[in-house]
Structure formats: C-alpha cells, structure tokens
Chain A
Amino acid sequence: MRFNEKELVLLSRQPSERAAELGMRGPKKGDVVKKRLVKLVVNFLFYFRTDEEEPIGALLLEQCRVEREDSQTFSIAFLDEAERKYVFECDTEEQCAEWIDSIIKASYEFMRKNLIFYRTEIHRLTGKDPLEQYGISDEARFQVSNGRPLVARDTSSL
C-alpha cells in the first residue's frame, strides 16, 4: 500500500509533549524488549532507534485497546486481537499513567466524541450551534448521530 512516507517522517519530527525512551516489545512470540525512543504525534505512535532521525515505524492509535499491564508497564492491542500486544516499559508509575492517558486522548475518535458532546451542550445551553460561525455545521464528521447514538462508549471503540 502506498503512503506519503516523506511527509509522515516529517510529521514524526514535530515537537511532541509525549516522547521518551521506553522499553518496547513487539506482539509476536519471541519478540524481546528493546530500548526505543517512543513519540506520540497526532494519532500516531512513532518509534525510533535512539539517535536515529527516521522512525522505524508508525502505529495508528485508532481502534486500539490501551491497558495497564503492571505498575510501570502498559500495552496497546490492535485489530481486536487481545493477545497480540505491543508492550511498553516505563521508568515510573507516574510516567506509565501519563502515557496511557495521552494515548487515549490522542485518538481522533475520542476527540470527535468530545466535539460532539460540546456541540450538543453548547446548543442546549445557548440555543446556538457553535460550528455555524466556522461554516462547518453540515460536515458529516461533526454530526451528532453519524451512525451511532450519542452515548458514552467503552474503551474498546477507542
């Protein structure tokens, strides 16, 4: 599958508030923990060999399950395959919690839900649709029921 690699590599070099050296282990049997520079940019998790400019890979953080494995370790499972997880080892409990939090909130779907919530609430409180001023009221992506009812969802849809 073709993709805009150069542009994505450039994206990986943008400043990020969530970047650190973590121990990273792949999902396959036999994968070992390796030290990687892990960086969260928009809804992608990039990982680099320390001191290399180009990332080894990019993981799209949509439709994934982020879980606490133990006090300093978290995992990300994709494709509804609960057993195939990428595991990340942090230095402290606090760092681990921060990473989990950041990854969840980085998802586009999570942000979309927030937006829909605010839009609904602002309309309820003020009678006005806040997206009108930007001319985007009728964009499909911002609609209240875009295939689903407006209720809180469990984390598996993140």
Chain B
Amino acid sequence: MKLHEKILTHYLSCTSPVDKEGYLNKKKNRNDTYHRRWFVLKANLLFYQERPADRHLLGVIVLEGCAVQHSETDGHFTFSLVFGPGLKTYRFAAVDRQGQESWVKALHSASHCYLSMLVKDLARQYEEAKQQQSLGESHPSVSALKLPTNSFLFTTTQQTAVVREGRSFSASTLLQAPSIPAKAVAKKSPKLWTRRHAYVTPLNGPAPLYGEWPLVGFDPLEDFSTLHDYYGQEVKKAREDWLKSRQKEEDHTDQDLIDLG
C-alpha cells in the first residue's frame, strides 16, 4: 500500500502544533539493541529521524489501534506501543522517569479515536453548561450566543474506527490518563486557567458588554483607594440626586398638596 509520504512530511514541517518531541531510544526488534532517535509527535503520528535537524525522515508510526504500556525493566525507563497479536510492538526507553511518564501520557491521548471521543464528551458538557446558564439567571452575553451554521463548531461525525473487538469503549475509562506508579512525584498542572481566562471572548458570540469586564490592569490589593473612589463616585452621585429631589419636595410642601379650590 502506498502511503503518500510527501503529504506526511509536509504536515510534519508545517506550522500546526507539535505535541511532543525529544530523544528516545528505540529498540530494534531483530537484535535487542537500542538506537537513539529524535521523535516528533504530531496529531496521531509519531515521526522519527536520527537528529532534529535531519531532512531525511527514518519513519512514522500511525498511532491508531495501539495500547501504550509502561514497564519497569530494571533501571530502564521503558514503554511500548502494542498493536496486538500478529501486529507490531514498538519498544522505547526514555532517559529518565519524567521522560517515560510524559511520553506515555502524550501517546495515550494521541489517537484520532481518543480525540474524537473527547470532543464528543466536551460537546455534551458544553450543551449542558449552556442549558444550566439559561435556566439560572440570564447572563446577557450568553443568551445572545449564536452559533453560525458555517462556523467550525460542528459536532464531529459519528464515525469511530472500532479498532479491536472486545475492547470496552466506555468513555470515562478510555479518556482517563494512565495512572503513574506511586513513586512518581505528582506534578501540579501549570496555572493556565487563572481567573482571568474566564473573560476570554467567546469565539462565536459577542464579547460581554464593556461594563462587565474587570478593570484591566487593576490590582485591588494595591489600589484599594482607587477602587474605593471609583465605586464611591456612584454613591456620591446617588446622594446628590437624592438631595436634589429632597430640595424639590421641600419646595412643593409650601403649597397645599390638595387643591381645595
């Protein structure tokens, strides 16, 4: 079967994101030796070459229908891609445990099938979240959110490559990242999702009205007096208005409220 290589190499070199890259030792099945190779993971494809700068690609592994397994082989941080009986098993060794773990995790979530399931799951959660939002108090920007039919926001097609019979496809078990052995230090995920991100403009809907945005570049702990003055202005105005209306009332009470003729 012809795999159109130029298309693959073009995809590798284009600007779409690289999901992971680095050196790994790849085991040669024939003679149990390891060769150091530079690997680049992009989408569901694992490319490898001798060195990062090399133009010549040695090979590619299409990551569909394989299980990622890690193994504890005395001192070596090994893991493998297992395609099943009669099919290939690719064996690798990382330099250290961190490398092993991060590759295993990255490869586990690399397949198209995995991404497809994940997108479907999030699409469902998104619909639920939107419904919750409209059931609760209506937030103007959310209720105005419209999804143009030709936007890229489609639910994915129903096709799922059922790669192996007998494998359970319950979404939550399959989507779960592989459990790392207890010896590993739990890494805290980087703070990408700080509170500020809650105000990211929705792609297919209007941005919230200006007044709803937080004061940009404002740190309440340092500038409390600024905050105090800012909100204080509103209070000041309200008070002035009230005083004015009281003034008018007093003027009016000089006359009889009821004209008795």
Residues of A within 8 A of B (CB): 1-12, 14-18, 40-44, 54-60, 62-64, 78-80, 102, 105-106, 108-115, 117-127, 129-130, 132, 134-144, 146-148, 150-153, 157
Contact = CB atoms under 8 A, between A and B. Distances in A.
Given A125-B130, A130-B122, A139-B109, A102 B66 contact: no
Contacts of B130: 125
A7 B88 contact: yes
B255 interface: no
Interface string B99-138: 0000001100111110110110111011001101100000
Contacts of B204: 152
B11 A63 contact: yes
B154 interface: yes
B170 interface: no
A130 B161 CA distance: 24
Contact of A124 (B88, B175, B177, B198): B198
B221 interface: no
B115 A17 contact: no
Contact of B87 (A10, A64, A105, A111): A10
B157 A141 contact: no
A140 B19 contact: yes
Given A1-B59, A110-B152, A118-B122, A9 B115 contact: no
Contact of B17 (A9, A102, A127, A140): A140
B119 A1 contact: no
Contacts of B116: 111
Interface residues of B, number: 80
A90 B57 CA distance: 36
A72 B199 CA distance: 44
A66 to B, nearest CB: 13
Interface string B3-43: 11111111100111111100000000000000000000001
A115 B119 contact: yes
B192 interface: yes
A129 B10 CA distance: 33
5 contacts: A12-B1, A18-B159, A40-B159, A108-B43, A137-B189
B238 interface: no
A144 B121 CA distance: 18
Nearest to B197: A123
Q: When A and B form their complex, which 7 residue pairs have the shortest distance between CB atoms, in order from nearest?
A: A2-B59, A135-B177, A42-B112, A118-B122, A108-B43, A57-B2, A146-B17
A79 B11 CA distance: 8
A118 B119 contact: yes
A55 B1 contact: yes
B227 interface: no
Contacts of B197: 120, 123-124, 144
B67 interface: no
B115 A108 contact: yes
Given A3-B59, A114-B153, A114-B154, 17 more contacts: A8-B62, A10-B87, A11-B64, A11-B163, A18-B157, A57-B3, A58-B4, A112-B43, A118-B125, A119-B122, A124-B202, A125-B129, A125-B142, A126-B132, A139-B106, A141-B106, A141-B110
Contact of A3 (B60, B66, B112): B60
